[in-house]
Amino acid sequence: MRIEGLRLYLRDTRLSDLEQRRHWELIDTEWKAWDAPWEYEGLSKEALVLESERYLERLKRRLERSLGLADTGFRVGFEIVLKQKDRPIGWVNCYEITDRFEWTPGINAMGTAVGLVIPAVSDRAKGYGAEALLAYIDYFRTIGYRELYTQTWSGNRAMVCLAERLGFEVIERRRNSLLVRGARYDGLTYRLEL
Ligand SMILES: CC(C)(COP(=O)(O)OP(=O)(O)OC[C@H]1O[C@@H](n2cnc3c(N)ncnc32)[C@H](O)[C@@H]1OP(=O)(O)O)[C@@H](O)C(=O)NCCC(=O)NCCS
């Protein structure tokens, strides 16, 4: 499946994307300082590598299961690809949350939270994040969703700006709930009506 944007498009992740994903998981990892960094705090280098390897393995299994998925089948995420040179620059994905805005593997799910990562610093702040998230939101609108959520933390200015620019509104602020690099930040859940 492919979803058109102006300068980029979203498409299904392929097994051939895994090499690039491995690079972003293990080498070009600056983005992890922004995407739920508290999950990595205090972990040794070895534990981080192990965690990344496990994630890549899960992703590979998920891709293998979804090979040949019909266009009507539900997509958890997509690769973000720049039309110029057909270059992948990141991904969008989603997960379920409960009515307490906590991650759930589907049990007591209240809603769907969307997220995205543009790993290379040189690809950021060029409007690609906004374009990709808009295209992803459109995907959910097309398949009948009436609302979406997104979650971040108050220290992630880029994501806060992006969410607010696209019309997401804060529905829960957990003051000083997150410790990142020695400072306390608010955990934020945003909601968007589609
Ligand atoms: C968050 C992220 C996806 C944003 O993508 P992007 O392509 O850099 O964002 P855009 O260029 O579309 O900019 C969107 C808005 O954020 C603002 N912005 C971008 N980078 C910023 C920064 N470092 N500080 C403050 N504002 C920033 C832009 O000015 C723009 O706001 P505007 O339209 O009001 O001018 C990207 O920075 C990223 O992948 N970061 C690392 C991973 C991450 O944090 N993911 C989110 C997890 S919740």
Percent of all residues in the chain with a pLDDT value above 70, rounded to a whole number: 100
Q: Is the pLDDT of residue 106 over 90?
A: no
> DSSP states of the chain as a string?
-EEE-SSEEEE---GGGHHHHHHHHHTS-GGGGTSSGGGTTT--HHHHHHHHHHHHHHHHHHHHHHTT--TTS--S-EEEEETGGGEEEEEEEEEEE-TTS-EESSTT--EEEEEEE---GGGSSSSHHHHHHHHHHHHHHHTT--EEEEEEETT-HHHHHHHHHTT-EEEEEEEEEEEETTEEEEEEEEEEE-
Residue 10 has pLDDT above 90, yes or no: yes
pLDDT tops 90 at residue 64? yes
Q: How far is the CA of 32 from the centre of ligand 1 (A)?
A: 14
> Would you state the pLDDT for residue 113?
98
Of the candidates 47, 72, 49, 73, which has an alpha carbon nearest to the alpha carbon of residue 62? 73
Report residue 50's pLDDT band, with 50, 70 and 90 as the boundaries.
very high
Structure token digits, residue 126: 């060029």
**Would you say residue 9 has pLDDT above 90?**
yes
Please choose, from the candidates 148, 113, 121, the residue with its C-alpha nearest in 3D space to the C-alpha of residue 36.
Answer: 113
Contact 127, 80 (CB under 8 A): no
What's the mean pLDDT in 1-24? 96
pLDDT higher than threshold 90 for residue 53: yes
* Tokens of residue 6, six digits: 């102006």
pLDDT, mean of residues 163-168: 98
Q: What's 185's domain CATH number?
A: 3.40.630.30
Task: Return d(Cα 17, Cα 85) in angstroms, integer.
Answer: 15
Model confidence at 42: pLDDT above 90: no
The domain in which residue 114 lies consists of 2-193
Q: Tell me what pLDDT residue 167 has.
A: 98
pLDDT of residue 68: 86
Question: Cβ < 6 Å from ligand 1: which residues?
Answer: 31, 34-35, 115-118, 124-130, 152, 156-159, 161-162, 165
Is the model's pLDDT at 107 over the cut of 90? no
Mean residue pLDDT of the chain comes to 96
Q: Which residue is closest in CA terms to ligand 1's atom 20?
A: 158
Q: Whose CA is nearest to atom 4 of ligand 1?
A: 129
Q: In this structure, what token pair is assigned to residue 172?
A: 């829960």
Domain count across the chain: 1
Write down the pTM of the prediction. 0.96
State the distance from the centre of ligand 1 to the C-alpha of 163, rounded, in angstroms: 9
Higher pLDDT, 42 or 194: 194
